[in-house]
Structure 1
């Protein structure tokens, strides 16, 4: 069964349009099959169900499960704590706030209708749905762990916004096969067309987030014990190997599976491990970036063997 990845930049109010993208893997990139703006929740559901003969992965940039009347969900609290170092945060999601935009709360309505069609918050399902976030996806996957300031905000001119959207477009062009939107001259856009362009790019990013998080490093955040929101995280890791002579080796990598294979089978493995094969991966930590990984590697290397074993067995 072929897989497709659907991204939805969901409008919180009834009067606004939602970006909607359908993409499929083709070679090392994704190919956009469908890209449009939709208005009603029923329209969105109908468009999704056209692909019922596929494995469907839906990513929505909106809160799908909101049990709290006021305040923040645990998702926002935990995400904001984790991503504070990147200066990225999520707004509060609660029923009181969301009902100001739509009495029915459109994101909850969408989730409930798709759940009736068999969609589940589980990558093991054949119909998958999660919340995603464009800002964290762009920062981690494209923009060197920094927020891309392409959203309309006080103090940002139209020219600045268009410049940022141009950068955004170029990032997506590297990950998707050619499509008219990725060739659009952003400088030519005016008024509502700039906002429409932004919403469509965001829907593309939502589809990309679902694809990326299925095959790469990702973190899940829960509502009431169930994975609900997923975001890419840094690929950089510090790791420890147990060698054939029972010694421990510490290193950094972005692809642990490949690196462990190299240590066991390739001249690319470290000089230390090449004469102590086979080696076994016994520990790893996710790090923010290469600098963070190398700093943590240094700290671990200074530990005694007893301290390293205690770290492994935590």
Structure 2
């Protein structure tokens, strides 16, 4: 991964395409400069057209060729992170005959983003949070009641803000706990690829099968 990107983008996509996808863009100072929350792929692609020399981190598989079980990069990841209690949900063709992030990846390739070009990666917010914010322990915040989840999300936001400046005047979704969670996850995705430009990281997978980028513990 090259060291001199001008922007860092994080995408937390809907897996079905039936819900909005959260997209955050940071500048080199890790200041949040743009955000969209949309189901429209063209809107997402248009946003990225506005920012040259950008690297993207996506919280989802972008290439699925296995019929069952885990993908090869998922298996590699689990070998390294299972000791910390961190695993991955298996993604395959049988479970997901249609998978929105694959469609999004194909659209992003038309404007120059690909594993081959080294400017887009699969990332895993749970791994980043474990490494950066939670003393190498899994931070459980997904499967909670709304009130408990909101408390966890507020804690997570404070941790994120030790790295990222979130302008007060930027309109971010807080109309539901789910939209707020998607926003914060997109920030963690952007932070992952941003920090990978200045510190050690691990990569799992291949250009053909998908490359997952994880900050090194």
TM-score of the pair, normalised by structure 1? 0.63
Q: Does 1:71 align with 2:69?
A: yes
**1:197 Cα deviation (Å)?**
0.4
**1:62 Cα deviation (Å)?**
0.7
Residues 124-164 of structure 1, C-alpha deviations (whole Å, 9 max, x = no match): x5x7111001100111012111121111x2xx332221111
Counterpart selection for 1:145 from 112, 136, 142? 136
Residues 18-52 of structure 1, C-alpha deviations (whole Å, 9 max, x = no match): 111010122xxx1000123111222211211122x
Unaligned runs of 5+ in 2: none
TM-score of the pair, normalised by structure 2? 0.89
C-alpha separation in 2, matches of 1:180 and 1:198: 18
Instruction: Give me the CA root mean square deviation.
Output: 2.2
- For the residue of structure 2 that corresponds to 1:83, the secondary structure is helix
Counterpart selection for 2:22 from 19, 24, 45? 19
Partner of 2:82: 84
Counterpart selection for 2:113 from 116, 119, 129? 119
C-alpha separation in 2, matches of 1:116 and 1:11: 20
Greater RCO (Cα-Cα under 8 Å, separation 6 or more): 2
- Structure 1 segments, 4+ long, off by >3 Å, are 223-227
Partners of 2:22 and 2:183 within 8 A in 1? yes
C-alpha separation in 2, matches of 1:172 and 1:108: 28
Partners of 2:10 and 2:24 within 8 A in 1? yes
C-alpha separation in 2, matches of 1:205 and 1:181: 20
Partners of 1:24 and 1:32 within 8 A in 2? yes
Unaligned runs of 5+ in 1: 235-314
C-alpha separation in 1, matches of 2:23 and 2:49: 13
| Structure number with bigger Rg | 1
Counterpart selection for 1:110 from 104, 107, 118? 104
**1:181 Cα deviation (Å)?**
9.0
- For the residue of structure 2 that corresponds to 1:177, the secondary structure is coil
**1:82 Cα deviation (Å)?**
1.0
**1:225 Cα deviation (Å)?**
6.4
